[in-house]
Amino acid sequence: MKMGYLFLAGAICAEVMATLSLRASEGFSKLGFTVLVVVGYIVAFTLLSFGLQRGLNLGIAYGIWAAAGVAAVAILSWPIFGESLSALQVGGLALVIAGVFALELGAAH
């Protein structure tokens, strides 16, 4: 199971890189970033599938992947692209993360 979480962490990193590259590609007009988008998403889904093969629960794994990805992209978009991140948005991200933790805790029982 621990190996499954390592694959999940890799999937999250690849997905975040791909999503940030999607923004940086400027409508797929920058080839280098476009390649990172395609490769990043392929790697992300491949690693997620490896994690699922190693016993991760689909609902929990997907919830962690989605929440961590949303939070990381929102936080990293602030310094990288100068996008805003208000206190209300930070609170919303905290609620998303708390929801995923609740799913994980509920699965343990």
Q: Give the mean pLDDT of 62-79.
A: 93
CA separation, residue 28 to residues 22, 31, 76, 96 (Å) = 7, 7, 20, 30
Distance CA 34, CA 22 (A): 7
- Mean pLDDT lowest for which of 1-5, 33-37, 77-81? 1-5
**CB neighbours (10 Å) of residue 55?**
12
Per-residue confidence (pLDDT) for residue 1, from 0 to 100: 67
The pTM (predicted TM-score) of the whole model is 0.89
Q: Where does the pLDDT of residue 109 fall: very low under 50, low under 70, confident under 90, or very high at 90 and above?
A: low
Q: What is the pLDDT of residue 12?
A: 98
Query: Largest Cα–Cα distance in the chain?
Result: 49
Locate the domains of the chain by residue range: 2-107
Token pair for residue 96?
């998303």
pLDDT of residue 104: 78
The label of the residue with tokens 């029982």 reads 109
